[in-house]
Amino acid sequence: MSNRKKVRLGDLAAAGRSVISGPFGSNIGKQYFRNEGIPVIRGNNLTIDYRKFIDDGFVFLTEEKADELNAYAIEGDLIFTAAGTIGQVGMIPKGGAYKRYVISNKQLRFRADTEKADPNFLYAWLASPWIFNAITNRNTGSTVPLINLGIIRSLPVVLPVDISEQKKIAAVLSALDAKIDCNNRINAELEAMAKTLYDYWFVQLDFPDANGKPYKSSGGKMVYNPTLKREIPAGWEDSLIGDVLGKVPTTTKILNKNILETGLIPVIDQGQSYICGFTNEQSSLIVPKQPHVVFGDHTRAVKLVNFNYARGADGTQILLSESQRMPGYLMYQVVSDIDLSSYGYARHFKFLKESRIVLPERSVAQRYQDVVTPWFKKIKQSIFENQELSRLRDWLLPLLMNGQVTVA
């Protein structure tokens, strides 16, 4: 630790107006939002899981309004959530989608003196579990969690005196995060490809015919289906989703988002990720021989799994197709495509089972399954690779920060 120094974050600020809060709420309300212009950073652009910045999902201000607010963030600036989900931290990346951004009324911005601290190193430090705890423990809100500029300035930072060492440490951690991000982007592209193919084959009905030409566009025979009240390809039928579902063994209800121990069984939930926690109860393990669909009947989230998993929490249904005309990957797209927004959350699964769908010919369904299977195998591989990379990063982070591990 002799080559480390402990300071407050405020001691590392650049000269001038470097630590600011967002504009007063009424100055950046909905009435000023536009479809293009200067993007506004909000809570949806920050995370607590080492994703530096989510560079989309913006609302915009005119350049004149942005100049009036003078709450810009540029490359290398650190952004904190000040109200609500405190502990979120992000950093405007190099080569971002925009040259400048405006922080919202619920954000704080910190700009580092780059001769004292490397912004990427600071991001790694500030995104760490110990700083997350430090921020949440300094919450000043009674009903809505709050932090202020004084709290940000007072955050402890331990960093190498030599800025080149800071940059080396940041480079190692950034490389791991970049690989995780690359895997996530590949997965998103693969899922988009599968969805595009599904739309082309089963919505537009232009699956390849016997001659390899698009069926409907090439004059393939269409037959009116009185139940669906529309034409479908000859040889196709309609069915209730409930009629093609098999039964998944009932198992112990498991859900603990805080248990992340290596080697345990992944638990599927209806939230935003494939895995929300782990269990060591072997009785809860389900080993699918084909892809299963996880349907959250309270949140209407749909996920797909093709590896070992445990039974989800309340409100989560695991769907298994018994029809060879509705294989797992195709059923995933079909279920994802059904609009249940007009039904109450508690009744989603009931109405899902009663939804009518088209059953394609077995050969078409199997052909779709054959095409997308390698894509979803790659997605599965990337998910597990990201788990390993995340564990490596979490193990390295404190060792690099306190000097137990050095970078040549």
Nearest to 208 by CA among 184, 233, 183: 233
| Mean pLDDT of all residues belonging to the chain | 85
SS3 (DSSP) at 203:
helix
What is the pLDDT at residue 290? 73
The predicted pLDDT at position 264 comes to: 42
Q: What is the pLDDT of residue 258?
A: 35
- Averaging pLDDT over each range in 114-118, 330-334, 350-354, which range is the top one? 114-118
Greatest mean pLDDT among 23-27, 381-385, 397-401 lies in 397-401
DSSP 121-159: HHHHHHTSHHHHHHHHHT---SSS-B--HHHHHH-EEEE
- Mean pLDDT highest for which of 247-251, 299-303, 364-368? 364-368
pLDDT in tens, 342-374: 666 556 778 888 889 999 999 999 999 999 999
Domains contained in the chain, CATH given: 4-159 (3.90.220.20), 237-359 (3.90.220.20)
Q: Distance between CA atoms of 84 and 145, rounded to whole angstroms?
A: 5
**Which percentage of the chain shows pLDDT scores above 70?**
83
Q: Is the confidence at residue 7, as pLDDT, over 60? A: yes
Tokens of 177: 């995060």
Tens of pLDDT along 181-229? 999 899 999 999 999 999 999 999 999 999 999 999 999 999 999 999 9
What pLDDT does 251 receive?
A: 46
Query: What pLDDT, on the 0 to 100 scale, is given for residue 317?
Result: 73
User: Does the pLDDT value for residue 270 go beyond 70?
Assistant: no
282 contacts: CB under 8 Å, gap ≥ 6: 265
Q: Is the dihedral of CA 68, 74, 77, 83 positive or negative?
A: positive
CA nearest neighbour of 220 among 207, 230, 238: 207
- Check residue 265 and give its pLDDT: 46
**Neighbouring-strand partners of residue 294:** 303, 318
